[in-house]
Amino acid sequence: MKYLKLLLSVVFVSIQFLLCAQNQEKDVKMDSKAALQKMSTIYYLINNFYVDTADFENLTEEAIVSILKELDPHSAYISKKDVQKANEPLEGSFEGIGVTFQIFQDTILVVSPVPGGPSDKVGIMAGDKIVKIDGEEAFGKKVNNEYVAKHLRGKKGSKVTLGIKRGNSKELIDFDVVRDKIPLNSIDASFMLDNKVGYIKLDRFAKTTMEEFDAALKELKSQKMKSLILDLRGNNGGFLNVAAELSNQFLKKDLDIVFTEGDKSPKHVFKTDHNGVFSDGKLVILIDEGSASASEIVSGAIQDWDRGVLIGRRSFGKGLVQRPFNLSDGSVVRLTTARYYTPTGRCIQRSYDKGSEDYFKEMTNRMNHGEFYHADSIQFPDSLKYSTLISGRTVYGGGGIMPDIFMPVDTSYSTKLYVDLVRKGVLNRFTLEYVMENRNEILAQYSDFDKFNKEFYVSESMIDDFKKFAEKEGVEWNDEQFERSEPLVKLQLKALIARNEWDMEDYYQVVLREDKVVKKAMEILNDANQYRKILKR
C-alpha cells in the first residue's frame, strides 16, 4: 500500500506539471495527461477490486519494460539489482579478488590472476582450482558464473578465504584474499605488427579508455610506429564523449566529430579542440557487423574527413543516444534522447519500424541475404548518399557505416564442425586441460611467448587427442569439414594455449598473423599509392 501511494503521488504530481504546461503544447499535453490518468485508474482498480493481493512493484517494473520496448530498441530499464553489473563494463572496474576464471568440470579454474591484483599478491597461480570459499565447498552443479560472482566479488577491503587445489597435491592451500578494485581494461591488445605498423584492439568505450589508449599510443610511437590499425570489430560502443575524444586523436583542430539532436534535445556539436597526437600517420580502422554506436561515431568521423581507410563489413547501425535517469528506488532508465549524425550529416541508425524483435534479427537476415559474403548484395538508396568533406567520395547514411574496402566472412568459420567446437566450448576446455598437464614442459621448452610463437606448432598427435576429446564432449566429428577448418582450428589451439600460459595480448599476436582482414590492412598501409588512391588524395 505504501508503494502504491507513493506511485499515485508521483502520477498526481506529473499530472499537475502537465496541467501547468498545457498552454504551450495543449494537444500533446492533454494526450499525456489522459494516458497518465488512465494508468493511475488501472492501479486504483487493481488495488481496490482485484481478487488477490497484487505485487505492485513487479507490475510496475513489467509495465516500464513494456513501455520502453514500444519506443525504440535501445531505451531500457535496469532494475536496482542489475545496475552495478550493467555499469561495470563502462565504469572500467569492479571489486573482487582479481582472477580470470573458467568453470571447468564443475570447478572454478583460475586461468590467470590479474597482475598486481589481490589474488596475485597472495600467490594464487594460473591453473589453481578454487574448491572452497569461506569453508564452504565450491564445486559441483551449483557452480556457475552467477555463483562465482556472488561469492568472489564483494566490497573493497572485505576478506574471503579460498581453499585452493594445486596440481596433484591432495592437501588444499588456504589463502586469505582481501578484495580490491579490479580494472576492466578496454584495450585487449596493443603491439607492433612489423617495424612500422602498430595495432590496437579496442573492446569498449569506457571511462578508462582514453587513459589506456594514450598509454598504448605513446608506447607504440616509442617503437617508431608510422601507421596504425585500430581494430573496432565486435566493439559495441560505450560513452559518446569518449568516442569524440578518441576521434580527436586522429584529426586536426576545429573539425566536427559528431552532432546530436532530438525533438527535446537541442543540437549539440562535438568538435576537435586540438591537433590529435596521431593526426598525420596512416590509419586503418577495422569494423564489422558487431561494431556499434561509439565505434560508428569514430568510423564515421574518420571516413567523412577522408582521414583513414575503413576495412571490413557494414557496421551494426546504431545512431541513437541514451541518457541514464536514476529512479527513486535505485533503478535506472536509459532513455533514447537524441540521434547522432556524422560530420557530413549522416544518421546511420537503421530502421526499427517493424519492432524490436525484427530489429535484432537483422544480423541473421544480413547473413541469409548474402551480405557477409558479397558486397554487391548491399543496396543503398540515392536519398542516403553523401559526399566526404575533403575528397568528395560517396558514402551512405542509414543502416550503419559501409567500409571503404569490403572483406567477406572467412568461410572456414562456417563449417558445422567448427561452429560446434566453439559453441560447446571444446577448444577452450581442451587447451585449458593441455596447459594444466603440460605447463612445466611448455615453460621449460619455451622460455617466453616470443620463442613459443616462433617455434610451437600443433602436431598431428595433438590433433588426434583433440579429436578424441571433442567426440567425448559430444561433437560429431566430420573429416571433410575438419579439412576445411583445419588451419583455423590449429591456429585457435595455439592462440588459446598462449592466452592460458601468458595473456590475452599474446592470443591476438598469434591469430592476427593469419587474419585476412589484418593482412589486407597491412597491404594497404605498406603501399602508399594504394592508400592514397582509396582516399582519392
Q: Residue by residue, what is the 3-state secondary structure of 330-372?
A: CCEEEEEEEEEECCCCCCCCCCCCCCHHHHCCHHHHHHHHCCC
Is the CB of residue 177 less than 8 Å from the CB of residue 160?
yes
Global pTM reads 0.86
CA-to-CA dists, residue 458 to 417, 486, 492, angstroms: 18, 11, 10
The pLDDT, as a whole number, for residue 189 is 96
The pLDDT, as a whole number, for residue 30 is 52
The pLDDT, as a whole number, for residue 110 is 87
Q: Considering 293, 295, 299, 315, which one is annotated as catalytic? A: 293
The pLDDT, as a whole number, for residue 9 is 47
Q: What is the mean pLDDT of each run of 10 residues along the chain (537 residues)?
A: 47 44 48 85 93 92 91 93 83 86 85 84 86 93 89 92 87 92 91 97 96 97 97 96 98 98 96 97 97 97 98 96 93 96 96 87 86 82 91 93 94 86 89 89 93 96 96 94 94 94 92 95 97 93
Q: Is 293 a known active-site residue?
A: yes
CB atoms within 10 A of CB 179: 22
Q: In this structure, which CATH number among 3.90.226.10, 3.40.50.1980, 3.50.50.60, 3.30.750.24 belongs to the domain 187-409?
A: 3.90.226.10
Q: Considering 129, 201, 318, 494, which one is annotated as catalytic? A: 318
The pLDDT, as a whole number, for residue 16 is 46
CA 508 to the chain's CA centroid: 16
Residue entry with cell 590496437: 200
User: Cβ contacts of residue 363 below 8 Å, gap of 6+?
Assistant: 289
Rounded Cα distance, 407 and 400, in Å: 16
Q: Where are the domains of the chain?
A: 2-82, 93-183, 187-409, 412-502
What is the dotted CATH code of the domain comprising 93-183? 2.30.42.10
Rounded Cα distance, 53 and 44, in Å: 13
Q: Is 503 a known active-site residue?
A: no
Angle in degrees, CA 254, 260, 264, rounded to 5: 140
The DSSP call for residue 176 is E
Q: Considering 180, 231, 256, 304, which one is annotated as catalytic? A: 304
The pLDDT, as a whole number, for residue 102 is 82
Task: Note the residue count of the chain.
Answer: 537
Picking from 510, 437, 503, the residue whose alpha carbon sits closest to that of residue 469 is 437
